[in-house]
Each structure stands twice: as structure tokens, then as C-alpha cells.
Amino acid sequence: MEEGKTESEIIKGLGSPKVIAKDLLALYRFDEMKKDPSTSNITRAVMAAVGLSLFNFIIVLGPLIAIIGFIFSFWVGGIASVVTPFFVIVKVFMGTFIWLDLFVSITFVGVGLLLCIVAYYSTKWFKRLCVRYVVWNFKMIKGE
């Protein structure tokens, strides 16, 4: 008003309330993630950052889902491989046990433990990557 603008011009200059709300929500999620970098806070911050622009949604969402799928499959494969010796115990009680089953189950346990280790470090790496992405994205939004 002091600059000679009408109220409607000032309102138009502010932008869309939805965009402002998304920005504020994303900044809030980012601050929460910095205070407590738990998996849920990181996920919320990443989703808030992805929701800020169409570019993020198109470019980032596909690889994000793919990486989550790979890490999830490592966990499932590792846990399933570690559990296999219990099936050998069932075969012993059923009377269909052969010694090869024992050695194969030991191999599966080893592979399963290795997969669980890979999944653990992949999960840690992915969390760090998500935090770095969110920090970078907010710097880009703020124009720093």
C-alpha cells in the first residue's frame, strides 16, 4: 500500500497459498529431520521435498522407489536364507533328511548373513543419501 499497490496486486504478488503451505511444511519437516534423524522423519522430509516441484516428482521418485525395492529385497532374501535351516529340522522329523540338505542349509545361512550385512550398510547409506538430498533440495529452494 505504501508503494502505491492495491491489495489485490499485493495478494497476487504473494503467490498461491498452496505453494506457500507446501514450502512451509517442507521447511518444518526439514527442521524435524535435523533434530531427530529417524527413518520416519527422513521419509517425511524427502516426501515434502519431492512434493515441492514436478521435477523432483518425475526425476527422483523412480530411483527412490527402485533403491527402496533393492534394499527391501536384500533384507527379505537375507532373512529367508538365515531361516532355511529350520526346514532341515522338519526334514529330519519327516525322515527325508540327507546330508546334502545340511550343507546346503549352512551355505544358505552364510549367504543370508552376508545379504543382511549388505542390507544393513545399504540402509545406512540410503538414509545418509536421503538426508543429503533433502539438504541440497532446500538449499536450491532457498536459493543459497
Dist. CA 141–CA 77, nearest whole Å: 39
Task: Answer yes or no: is 78 within a domain.
Answer: yes
Task: Answer yes or no: is 1 within a domain.
Answer: no
Which residues span the domain enclosing 33? 7-142
Dist. CA 40–CA 47, nearest whole Å: 11
pTM over 0.75: no
Dist. CA 136–CA 144, nearest whole Å: 10
Task: Answer yes or no: is 117 within a domain.
Answer: yes
Which parts of the chain register pLDDT below 70? Answer: 1-5, 9-20, 22-23, 26, 29, 49-57, 140-144
Domain count of the chain?
1
**Structure confidence by residue, pLDDT tens digits, 121-139:** 999 999 888 888 877 777 7
Task: Answer yes or no: is 2 within a domain.
Answer: no
Per-residue pLDDT, 10: 65
Task: Answer yes or no: is 19 within a domain.
Answer: yes
**Structure confidence by residue, pLDDT tens digits, 4-16:** 667 776 666 666 6
Nearest to 143 by CA among 46, 47, 23: 23
